[in-house]
């Protein structure tokens, strides 16, 4: 006979809530990825200039920092998430056009896309099956990201190929860590807002994809 029905009920309610956040996050993530693919395709077809990548990233981060925190708990948050991911998709268009112009550009894009998918599915499956708590990685990941930002600022002006490669590699590792961290926060109840969870994982995937494109581009003959 169950001695603590209330405790068990609360436990079950917590698990159900966590599953709901996870399910909603993955559903919204899949829709935003499809939407990004659509806007990236349109951007490619329209042959938008490379400056568009820069402009769309600025627009997306303005929405992430200034608008999303105010609407994340309302239905309007979903519209803002689509605006952010749509903008980032538009920004990918010129980048993808650049790679498709290379001799093995289609192969590079395909590998980067498939590679991003495999990394995401693998890391998510690892967290979901082990149910490990990766909250201890938070400080390390944010500090690591700041170091990458400083290196990236320096490399804008120095343009050292080896540093570019190092930065892209470091981004993949840090963003992989963020996938572990974000997913573990969802399943352990640290993140209860699926809109914020979606944006966190989406940005990690976006950065992994762009960095993989750069690395494969460098090794595939693009310098």
Partner 1 sequence: MELWIKIGSAVLLATMFVVIFPKAKHMLANSPKGSAQDWLGALFPIVLVILFVIFLISLV
Tell me which residues touch partner 1 (CB under 8 A): 50-51, 54, 57-58, 61, 65, 104, 107-108, 111-112, 115, 118-119, 122-123, 126, 130, 132-143, 145-146, 149-150, 152-153, 156-157, 159, 169, 172-173, 176-177, 180, 212, 215-216, 219-220
Distance CA 223, CA 160 (A): 11
Q: Record the tokens describing residue 23, joined without a space.
A: 């399910």
> Could you tell me if 31 and 81 are in contact, meaning their C-beta atoms sit under 8 angstroms apart?
no
Nearer to partner 1, 17 or 54 (CB): 54
Task: Give the chain's count of helices (H) and strands (E).
Answer: 8, 0
Q: Residue 220: in which H helix or E strand, if any?
A: none
Closest CB 95 distance from partner 1, rounded Å: 13
Closest CB 38 distance from partner 1, rounded Å: 25
> Could you tell me if 206 and 90 are in contact, meaning their C-beta atoms sit under 8 angstroms apart?
no
> Could you tell me if 190 and 25 are in contact, meaning their C-beta atoms sit under 8 angstroms apart?
no
Nearer to partner 1, 27 or 146 (CB): 146
Closest CB 147 distance from partner 1, rounded Å: 10
Nearer to partner 1, 122 or 161 (CB): 122
Nearer to partner 1, 132 or 163 (CB): 132
User: Quick one: CA torsion of 201, 205, 208, 213, rounded to 10 degrees?
Assistant: -170
Closest CB 201 distance from partner 1, rounded Å: 15
8-state DSSP, 67 = I
Nearer to partner 1, 2 or 159 (CB): 159
> Could you tell me if 170 and 148 are in contact, meaning their C-beta atoms sit under 8 angstroms apart?
yes
Closest CB 100 distance from partner 1, rounded Å: 15
């Amino acid at each position: 006979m169950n001695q603590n029905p209330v405790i068990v009920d609360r436990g079950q309610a917590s698990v159900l809530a966590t599953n709901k956040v996870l399910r909603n996050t993955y559903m919204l993530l899949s829709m935003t990825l499809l939407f990004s693919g659509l806007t990236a395709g349109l951007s490619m077809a329209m042959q938008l200039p490379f400056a568009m990548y820069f402009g769309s990233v600025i627009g997306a981060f303005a929405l992430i920092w200034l608008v999303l925190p105010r609407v994340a708990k309302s239905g309007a948050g979903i519209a803002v998430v689509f605006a952010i991911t749509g903008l980032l998709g538009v920004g990918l268009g010129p980048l993808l056009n650049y790679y498709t112009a290379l001799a093995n550009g289609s192969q590079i894009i395909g590998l980067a896309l498939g590679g991003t998918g495999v990394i995401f599915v693998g890391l998510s499956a690892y967290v979901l099956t082990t149910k490990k708590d990766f909250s201890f990685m938070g400080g390390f990941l944010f500090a690591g990201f700041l170091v990458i930002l400083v290196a990236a600022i320096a490399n804008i002006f120095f343009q050292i190929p080896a540093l570019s490669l190092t930065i892209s590699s470091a981004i993949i590792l840090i963003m992989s860590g963020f996938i572990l961290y974000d997913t573990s926060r969802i399943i352990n109840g640290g993140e209860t807002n699926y809109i914020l969870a979606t944006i966190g994982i989406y940005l990690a995937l976006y950065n992994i994809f762009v960095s993989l494109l750069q690395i494969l581009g460098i090794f595939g003959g693009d310098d």
